């Protein structure tokens, strides 16, 4: 049996994976990879997403509302939703990568809508283009922040506006609001940016912005004070009215001024400085003379009787000039009912008003003692009869009495006083009122009424109505007479010449006659009369030449 030969093994070479893939498949793969790269690059390069919380949306729409700075788009709103507590609106906004380094804790967002109020008219362009969100930041990059609380109102100034910000403190807010103007010499140079209470609630704080270059006029000794459209003051100096600005009439305002020489000071020109906000310009001017050591120059003056009308802040006057203020009016009850009640005022002097600044308390007391030795006394006087206010006067009483400062009284030394003039002034006022009351006002009014009635009757009478025609006729007659006088005056020189010639002829005839004859005496008398007539006519002509109205007026 024949054996079959074994089959010869065959070896096949398997084709590799690259050889089974076509180059056609590489192109889609490269395209996908490129698209992924583009998506990844876009994701990496996209700007930050921030969440802004607002009280209400105010016209903000997802995908439509822009984020702007200086009217340039720097982002877009991606989503608008309610917060978890449903009390506010959360706006998700995507910003450009370029502005990402400046989105820090100092960044502010607010919604811009059309706004019309007493201080400004703004955002009218949003009536056509729609609302948008404005963003503001400083020029210094900071740590990234993604959550913000939007402002309810647009800030009056941006952070990079040239100028300075000052904080003022006052006891009450008064009539000053956010947006109220700030004035320098009645020119608007800034705005009130914020009004708030202090942390302890004891004061009201105002954050104001003063624009450049006016911030160069703020010095350490500058005073700030509140103003309104019309400021009137009635006091011991009478009535004063000051008009600052019509704009301040509606929103109030703040003004600042340096009442002292500023040559020795440098401008502040930095943010964060605190100043006191005074009630008025007069109070601000008076504060120049106030220092922290003024309590060293306090004295008391005791008065008898009523001090109604003497209030804290009342002036102390010396020779008509204010030299201090009343800082307190107090009553000290007696221990026994039979004793008199003590009424005294605490007087605070301001040495700078007397031209003796930088003086010690001992030196000032010695100066007062010298004045008291010369007769100076403290007197309670009337400041204004209409308001009933009182003031303190330093008067000289040269009655020979001896007085001195009582340094044993507490809490301050006591100055000698003299009798008040309030009673005398009141008595004079009462006498004046009494005399006015005694006047027969009824009869005076009746007489005045009769006079007006009679005057009206005279004016309405036919005689008064014909008076203009009579005056016209009189003026025409006077004109005719003046023409005649002018014509006659033109003949006066010839008449004078004729009289003079006749007088000379008479004299020549007299030379040939006997002085004892009757004709001589008659011709002599005629010659004298001719000379007298010539002199009279000459005098009359001279009078008419100097005063042509002499014939009418008689002078």
Question: Is 80 exceeded by the pLDDT of residue 208?
Answer: yes
Question: Is 90 exceeded by the pLDDT of residue 518?
Answer: no
What pLDDT is attached to residue 10? Answer: 59
Instruction: Kindly state the percentage of the chain with pLDDT values over 90.
Output: 16
Task: State the average pLDDT over residues 201-209.
Answer: 93
What pLDDT is attached to residue 209? Answer: 94
Task: State the average pLDDT over residues 225-234.
Answer: 70
Question: Is 70 exceeded by the pLDDT of residue 527?
Answer: no
Which one is predicted more confidently, 151 or 466? 151
Structure-token pair, residue 48: 């930050």
Alpha carbon 156 to chain centroid, angstroms: 22
Question: Is 60 exceeded by the pLDDT of residue 489?
Answer: no
Structure-token pair, residue 389: 């206010």
How many CB atoms are closer than 10 A to CB 513?
14
Confidence of residue 487 (pLDDT cuts 50, 70, 90): low
Which pairing describes strands 223-227 and 253-257: parallel, antiparallel, or unpaired? antiparallel
Q: Among 141-145, 146-150, 193-197, whose mean pLDDT is lowest?
A: 141-145
Alpha carbon 49 to chain centroid, angstroms: 48
Structure-token pair, residue 378: 């403290």
What pLDDT is attached to residue 80? Answer: 93
What pLDDT is attached to residue 545? Answer: 60
What is the chain's mean pLDDT, rounded? 77
224 SS3 class = strand
| pLDDT tens, residue by residue, 340-357 | 777 888 898 888 887 777
Predicted model pTM: 0.54
Is residue 347 packed enough to be buried (19+ CB in 10 Å), middle (13-18) or exposed (0-12)? buried
Element (H, E) at 443: helix 441-460
Question: Is 80 exceeded by the pLDDT of residue 70?
Answer: yes
| pLDDT tens, residue by residue, 104-128 | 888 999 888 876 655 556 556 666 6
What does residue 191 show for φ and ψ, rounded to 5 degrees?
A: -145, 160
What pLDDT is attached to residue 205? Answer: 95
Strand order in the sheet with 298-303: 298-303, 342-349, 321-332, 315-318, 389-396, 376-384
What pLDDT is attached to residue 419? Answer: 81
Which one is predicted more confidently, 134 or 402? 134
What pLDDT is attached to residue 240? Answer: 59
Residues 59 and 435: their CA atoms lie apart, in Å, by 74
Q: Among 282-291, 293-302, 409-418, 453-462, whose mean pLDDT is lowest?
A: 453-462
Task: State the average pLDDT over residues 275-299.
Answer: 82
Question: Is 70 exceeded by the pLDDT of residue 456?
Answer: yes
What pLDDT is attached to residue 19? Answer: 57
Confidence of residue 224 (pLDDT cuts 50, 70, 90): very high
What pLDDT is attached to residue 167? Answer: 95
Question: Is 60 exceeded by the pLDDT of residue 176?
Answer: yes
Task: State the average pLDDT over residues 67-89.
Answer: 90
Confidence of residue 491 (pLDDT cuts 50, 70, 90): low
Confidence of residue 148 (pLDDT cuts 50, 70, 90): very high
Question: Is 80 exceeded by the pLDDT of residue 434?
Answer: no
Question: Is 90 exceeded by the pLDDT of residue 360?
Answer: no
Q: Select, from the ranges 294-298, 359-363, 491-495, 505-509, the one with the highest average predicted confidence (pLDDT).
A: 359-363
Task: State the average pLDDT over residues 373-382.
Answer: 86
């Amino acid at each position: 049996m024949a054996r079959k030969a074994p089959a010869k093994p065959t070896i096949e070479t398997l084709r590799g994976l690259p050889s089974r893939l076509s180059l056609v498949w590489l192109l889609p793969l490269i395209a996908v990879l490129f698209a992924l790269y583009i998506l990844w690059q876009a994701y990496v390069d996209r700007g930050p997403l921030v969440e802004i919380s607002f009280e209400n949306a105010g016209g903000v729409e997802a995908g439509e509302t822009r984020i702007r700075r200086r009217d340039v788009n720097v982002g877009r709103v991606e989503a608008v939703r309610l917060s978890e507590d449903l009390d506010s609106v959360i706006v998700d906004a995507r910003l450009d990568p370029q502005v990402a380094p400046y989105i820090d804790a100092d960044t502010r967002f607010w919604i811009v809508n059309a706004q019309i109020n007493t201080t400004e008219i703004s955002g009218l362009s949003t009536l056509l283009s729609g609302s948008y969100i404005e963003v503001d930041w400083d020029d210094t990059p900071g740590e990234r922040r993604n959550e913000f609380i939007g402002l309810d109102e647009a800030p009056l100034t941006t952070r990079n506006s040239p100028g300075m910000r000052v904080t003022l403190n006052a006891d009450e807010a008064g009539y000053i609001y956010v947006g109220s103007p700030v004035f320098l010499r009645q020119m608007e140079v800034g705005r009130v940016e914020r009004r708030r209470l202090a942390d302890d609630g004891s004061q009201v704080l105002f954050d104001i912005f003063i624009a450049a270059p006016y911030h160069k006029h703020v010095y350490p000794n500058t005073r700030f004070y509140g103003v309104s459209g019309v400021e009137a003051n009635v006091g011991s100096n009478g009535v004063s009215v000051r008009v600052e600005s019509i704009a301040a009439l509606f929103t109030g305002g703040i003004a600042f001024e340096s009442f002292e020489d500023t040559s020795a000071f440098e401008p502040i020109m930095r943010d964060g400085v605190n100043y006191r906000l005074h009630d008025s310009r007069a109070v601000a001017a008076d504060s120049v003379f106030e220092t922290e050591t003024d309590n060293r120059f306090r004295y008391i003056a005791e008065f008898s009787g009523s001090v109604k009308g003497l209030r804290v802040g009342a002036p102390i006057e010396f020779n008509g000039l204010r030299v201090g203020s009343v800082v307190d009016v107090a009553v000290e009850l007696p221990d026994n009912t039979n004793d008199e009640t003590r009424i005294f005022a605490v007087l605070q002097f301001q040495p700078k008003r007397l031209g003796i600044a930088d003086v010690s308390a001992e030196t000032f007391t010695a100066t007062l003692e010298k004045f008291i030795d010369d007769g100076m006394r403290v007197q309670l006087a009337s400041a204004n009869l209409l308001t009933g206010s009182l003031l303190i006067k330093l008067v000289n009483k040269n009655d020979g009495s001896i007085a001195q400062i009582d340094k044993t009284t507490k809490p301050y030394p006591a100055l000698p006083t003299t009798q008040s003039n309030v009673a005398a002034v009141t008595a004079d006022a009462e006498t004046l009122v009494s005399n006015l009351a005694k006047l027969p006002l009824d009869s005076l009014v009746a007489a005045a009424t009769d006079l007006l009635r009679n005057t009206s009757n005279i004016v309405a009478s036919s005689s008064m109505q014909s008076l203009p025609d009579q005056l016209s006729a009189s003026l025409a007659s006077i004109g005719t007479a003046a023409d005649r006088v002018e014509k006659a005056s033109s003949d006066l020189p010839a008449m004078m010449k004729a009289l003079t010639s006749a007088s000379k002829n008479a004299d020549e005839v007299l030379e040939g006659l006997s002085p004892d004859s009757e004709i001589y005496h008659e011709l002599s008398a005629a010659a004298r009369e001719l000379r007298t007539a010539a002199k009279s006519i000459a005098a009359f002509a001279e009078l008419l030449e100097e005063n042509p109205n002499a014939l009418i007026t008689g002078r």
